[in-house]
Amino acid sequence: MIELANISKNFGKVQALQGVSLSAEAGSIHGIVGENGAGKSTLMKILTGFTSRSGGEILCRGKKISLDRPSDAMRFGIGMLYQEPLDFPQLSVLENFMAGEAAFAPGQARADLARLAAAFGFVFHPDNRVETLTVGERQQLELLRLIHGGARLLILDEPTTGISERQQEQLFAALRRLKADGAAILLVSHKLEEIDSLCDTVTVLRHGRVAAAMRCPFDRQALLQAMFDSLPERLSPPQTATGKEPVVEFDRVVVTVGRAGLHEATITVRTGEVVGLAGMDGSGQAVFLKIAGGFLPPESGQIRRFGRTLPNGCGCSRDVAFLPADRLAEGLLPGMTLREHHILAARGHIFLSAATGLAGSRRAIDDFNIKGHPETTAEELSGGNQQRLLLSLIPDEVRLILMENPTRGLDVQSADWTWQQLHRRKAEDGAIIFASPDLEEIMAQATRVVVFYDGRIILDTPTAATDYHEISRAITGEAGTTGPSDEVGRSGLLPD
């Protein structure tokens, strides 16, 4: 029904997609899988006209079409369920159902909504506000709206993240039914279970290119191999000098923020450990780090740092440092100079002169090899130098370092240098916890790997005792042998 030919997209110098071709047939479900940053979401956004493409052609029933804006895509019957529902929380269910439709007929729309909801087994109160619904219900509403709007090609972006088991069953039943009715469905997912049970064909994206295209039944091993880069068998295994003293203890911690939240996370990180958190984006790693840092109170469960229970589960202290993924927005003050950053970090200065903090920032520039001078503003620095500046700002008494994507945007040398610094900083009585989309980095730097899947810890093992395949399987939803398998119990689909 829709054919994509040689689609490419670049953001500035970064090539997000390169010559991607695929076709979606009426009456079939086509899966799109790939690692974080493989280009799945970008490709789908091009197909809905949300973003423009840099090259390539889109054919609809054999005719070339241009998709410059979402209204074009709607004309051709293309509708998308976004990962975060793009709806209007303060408007009613009925109003959300009607917004964007050509005709305004509340009575008719109310009847249509009731009819469609009954057909798919969904329950809606048309006058309730959407903000009172769960994510799963909002998604159901969006799905009905797209069908009502005449969508014949439905795109779903990670639709099962953060919805209940029952809602997932309802969604799958709805998709099978739509397929039988002749709709074309594109399912973006990283859960191989879903791909197995729903899809007729699958396209694997890796680094913005098509890595493989397969038909049902799928060979799991081949799929995994296409999704993830192959790695050198063994990298120099990091030292595993795990101490006895606990640094962070999570006891059945539950939160519901974000799409997946965190379900009953129980884990103890001890001194000397470097813990790498793996998983698809939004599977719970970021939330885990925020809780460990004391920026987010758990809704239930307990969290202890250095043996102390945090009051109200929240609170920052001078012995914990957090290096966020978005360095400029969350970590640094973009318009302020290096010297001013060091003055703020040092505390204790009340009156400032031109010389205040100068010595400190000069020393940091030398020690951390920052390409800049004391009067350079943080936003003028390159990504690598911003990370160096952040590292230089970590106070000496810090014993727990939390990081998101510590080497994102860094070249190989800077990344190596950063890790050298980090390993050196980590004293005998401290620990590092970092999340990274880069498995190679986790295997090379962490002494312990923790894999998150849908807000749960699905695998928790020393790096030396695991391998690359086990981790990539866990990322796609299959518990490994060494993981706390009693907690997951949804695996066993892989033919051994």
Partner 1 sequence: MDPATFLAALVAMAAPLVLAALGETLTEKAGVVNLSLDGTILLGAMTGFVVASVTQSLLLGFLAAGLTGCLVAALVAVIGVWLGQSQVAVGFALTFLCRDLAYFLGNPYARQQGPQLATLPVPLLADLPFFGTVFFTHSFIVYLSFLATPCCIYFLYHTRHGLTLRAAGENPEGCWARGIDPNTVRFLATLAGGAMAGLAGAAFSLAVKPGWGHPQGCEGIGWIALALVIFGSWHPLRVAAGAYFFGLLQLLGIAFQDSFPGIPGQIFQVAPFPLMIFTLILIHLSRNTKNRYFAGFVRLFGSPPPRGLGRPYRRP
Q: By CB under 8 A, name the binding residues for partner 1.
A: 45, 48, 50-51, 69-71, 73-74, 80, 82, 86-91, 95, 98-101, 103-104, 106
Closest CA to 84 of 183, 154, 156, 30: 156
DSSP per residue, 313-335:
G----TTEEEE-SSIIIIIS-TT
Give the single-character DSSP code of 126.
T
Pick the closer one to partner 1 by CB: 118 or 257.
Answer: 257
Six token digits for residue 457: 């810890």
The backbone torsions φ and ψ at residue 222, rounded to the nearest 5 degrees and listed phi first, read -65, -40
Q: Which is nearer to partner 1, 95 or 200 (CB)?
A: 95
Report the nearest approach of partner 1 to the CB of residue 293 (Å): 25
Rounded to an integer, what distance in angstroms lies between the CA atom of residue 177 and that of residue 159? 16
Closer residue to partner 1 in complex, CB, 145/327: 145
CB of 72 to partner 1, least distance (A): 8
Q: Are 132 and 96 in contact (CB under 8 A)?
A: no
How would you list the strands of the sheet with 246-255, edge to edge?
262-270, 246-255, 300-305, 308-309
Q: What share of the chain is helix, strand, coil (3-state, %, to 5)?
A: 35, 25, 40
- Nearer to partner 1 (CB atom), residue 57 or residue 101: 101
Q: How far is the CB of 49 from partner 1 (least distance, A)?
A: 9
Q: Give 266's strand partners.
A: none
Cβ proximity to partner 1, 103 vs 180, nearer residue: 103
The residue among 103, 52, 54, 56 whose CA lies nearest residue 73 is 52
Of 464, 455, 456, the closest CA to residue 482 belongs to: 464
* Nearest distance from C-beta of residue 138 to partner 1, angstroms: 11
| Torsion angle in degrees (nearest 10) through CA of 481, 487, 493, 496 | 10
We find the least distance from the C-beta atom of residue 173 to partner 1, in angstroms, to be: 25
Q: Smallest distance from the beta carbon of 338 to partner 1, in angstroms?
A: 28
Least separation in angstroms between residue 124's CB and partner 1 is: 18
Q: Residue 70 or 243: which CB sits closer to partner 1? A: 70
Toward partner 1, which CB reaches closer, 70 or 383?
70
User: Quick one: 50 or 172, whose CB is closer to partner 1?
Assistant: 50
Least distance (Å) from partner 1 to the CB of residue 224?
Answer: 32
